[in-house]
Amino acid sequence: MGRKQTIDRNAVLDAAEKVVSERGIGALTIDAVAKASGISKGGVQYAFGTKDDLIGAMIDRWEAEFDAETAALRNGDETAQSMVQAHAEATRHFDEASVDRAAVMLAAMMQDKNRLARTRAWYEARLNAIDTSTEEGRRLRLAFLATEGSYLLRSFGFMPMDEAEWQQVFEDILKLAGKG
Structure confidence by residue, pLDDT tens digits, 45-102: 999 999 888 988 988 898 898 999 999 999 999 999 999 999 999 999 887 667 667 7
Residues 144 and 166 in one domain: yes
Q: What is the CA radius of gyration of the chain?
A: 19
pTM of the model: 0.83
- Name which of 139, 39, 29 is nearest 81 in CA terms: 139
Spell out a b/e string for 59-79, using b for 16 or more CB atoms within 10 Å of the CB, else e. bebbeeebeebbeebbeeeee
Residues 12 and 81 in one domain: no
Residue 100 within any structural domain of the chain = yes
Residue 54 within any structural domain of the chain = no
Residue 55 within any structural domain of the chain = no
Domain residues for the domain of 132 are 61-176
**163-173 residue pLDDT tens:** 999 999 999 99
Residue 56 within any structural domain of the chain = no
- Taking the C-alpha atoms of residue 59 and residue 50, their distance in angstroms, rounded to an integer, is 14
